[in-house]
Copies of this chain bind each other. A is one copy, B any other.
Amino acid sequence: MLNPGDFYDLNLSFTQQQVNDFAAITGDNNPLHIDPDYAKTTRFGRPVVHGFLAGAVFSRIFGTLFPGEGTIYIYQDMRFREPIFVDKNYRARVEITEINPEKHNGTVSCLLIDDAAVPEHRTCIEGTARLKHLTEFV
């Protein structure tokens, strides 16, 4: 059973191979993600991880870890604040902010954070999710 304030952290990184595979599966072949020569010509300077690949960490956490099995995804929003790059370490932090026990719904804040950024850690994705879980949100 989860309560407001409960949170979960997951450390992760992305490889160029993951990005290339994600492009192949989803059809999202934007060269910004998969073509280093093209990416060099952009303001980012190197390939950027798809926002949807990075954001899928929230779905992974909710569906398999926190709350885990039985979670129904109702809503997700994501603000893409900073580019996400391959072979860098990130931390996903999800935290329960509100629970509606009658509807078995929970609201969860979602962050993808670059802890190594200077002068201070940087939030790359900021979002909110709404989930349903019959036994965790009671």
Contact = CB atoms under 8 A, between A and B. Distances in A.
Contacts of A77: 75-78
Nearest to A126: B75
A116 interface: no
Nearest to A32: B63
Contacts of A71: 30
Interface residues of A, number: 34
Contact of A79 (B21, B50, B74): B74
Contacts of A64: 27-30
A22 interface: yes
A87 to B, nearest CB: 16
Interface in A74-121: 74-80
Interface of A: 12, 18, 21-22, 25-33, 50-53, 55-57, 59-60, 63-64, 69, 71, 73-80
